[in-house]
């Protein structure tokens, strides 16, 4: 069984289990022994479980208004994939908290209650527009992770890299689902672009602030300000962030659709590499 999907079909959830309890090293800075980069990846992972659950709720809020059977099937795949992402990132996050990363609050009951309160106060279409915009962020990052040899060659914990590559692949597989649901239930271009504009304007300030707060809470990092400054410069001028904002801004174009960005070749390649007959993650499937 190859467990691959031709591009442009509906996404299907893979039942998978990563082995974070078998890490070869307990080194805290698991990305190239880089404090800032490691905190950046840990912060992203910390926010994924609650975020994925909110994405799922956003499409379920309007599920009874989706009449197209193919779209309904795509939504089922989207929900299954996002649920698995949250599950596996929680396992990684438990290990990261043990290593001293201050990310537990991102998935706390207090944070969840706050998020639910916000969701209850906004119209379903706005919630869905937030999900569609966030899915563009993850698709752009996924394309960078999977399409950049420079990123793939960064030394890091192998199982964390396996998780990130799997997550990136599935983000590309379902990148247009929430967007198409938004359109199907009558979401307008004004709402779509307005929500993205608000999120876009906050992207860099929130990224800088959250990363700075995490690093400041790290005793080792706080004692090495020159190293932190050097590593921060390398992160924000490197392949993850280089040219990122223009790529995200494509979503603001009237008439934009996620499939305007052709990632089918990248999908086919990584479906084979991860889940083909000799795929790297075939032995991780349940």
Strands (E), the chain: none
Q: Does residue 5 form part of some domain? A: no
Q: What is the mean pLDDT of residues 59-73?
A: 95
Number of domains in the chain: 1
- pLDDT greater than 80 at residue 231: yes
Nearest to 142 by CA among 46, 26, 254, 269: 269
CA distance 221 to 235: 15
pLDDT digits (tens, 9 = 90+) for 107-159: 999 999 999 999 999 999 999 999 999 999 999 999 999 999 999 999 889 99
State phi, psi for 279 to the nearest 5 degrees. -65, 150
Q: Does residue 105 form part of some domain? A: yes
Q: Does residue 72 form part of some domain? A: yes
Q: Does residue 8 form part of some domain? A: no
Q: Does residue 83 form part of some domain? A: yes
Question: Quick check: helix, strand or coil at residue 54?
Answer: helix
- pLDDT greater than 60 at residue 2: no
pLDDT digits (tens, 9 = 90+) for 264-281: 999 999 999 999 999 999
Please, which residues bridge with residue 285 across strands? 16
Q: Does residue 202 form part of some domain? A: yes
Q: Does residue 125 form part of some domain? A: yes
Owning domain of residue 250: 31-284
Q: What is the mean pLDDT of residues 161-177?
A: 97
The answer to whether the beta carbons of residues 43 and 210 sit under 8 Å apart is yes
Q: Does residue 222 form part of some domain? A: yes
Tokens in use for 257? 């659709």
Confidence of residue 21 (pLDDT cuts 50, 70, 90): confident
Q: What is the mean pLDDT of residues 46-63?
A: 97
């Amino acid at each position: 069984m190859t467990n691959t999907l031709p591009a442009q079909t509906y996404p299907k959830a893979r039942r998978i289990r990563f082995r974070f309890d078998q890490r070869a090293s307990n080194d805290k800075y698991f990305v190239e022994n880089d404090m800032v980069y490691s905190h950046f990846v840990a912060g992203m992972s910390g926010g994924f479980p609650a975020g994925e659950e909110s994405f799922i709720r956003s499409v379920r809020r309007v599920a009874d208004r989706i009449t197209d059977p193919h779209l309904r099937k795509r939504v089922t795949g989207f929900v299954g994939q996002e649920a698995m992402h949250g599950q596996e990132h929680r396992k990684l996050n438990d290990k990261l908290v043990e290593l001293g990363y201050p990310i537990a609050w991102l998935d706390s009951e207090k944070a969840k209650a706050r998020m639910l309160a916000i969701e209850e106060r906004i119209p379903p279409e706005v919630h869905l527009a937030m999900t569609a915009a966030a899915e563009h962020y993850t698709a752009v990052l996924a394309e960078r992770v999977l399409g950049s040899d420079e990123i793939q060659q960064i030394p890091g914990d192998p199982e964390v890299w396996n998780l990130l590559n799997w997550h990136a692949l599935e983000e590309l597989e379902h990148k247009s689902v929430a967007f198409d649901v938004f359109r199907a239930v009558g979401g307008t271009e004004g709402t779509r672009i307005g929500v993205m504009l608000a999120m876009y304007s906050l992207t860099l300030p929130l990224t800088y602030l959250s990363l700075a707060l995490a690093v400041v809470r790290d005793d080792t990092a706080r004692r090495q300000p020159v190293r932190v400054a050097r590593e921060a410069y390398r992160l924000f001028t490197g392949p993850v962030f280089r040219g990122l904002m223009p790529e995200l801004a494509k979503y603001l174009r009237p008439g934009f659709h996620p499939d305007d960005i052709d990632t089918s070749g990248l999908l086919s390649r990584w479906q084979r590499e991860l889940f083909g007959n000799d795929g790297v993650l075939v032995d991780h499937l349940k």
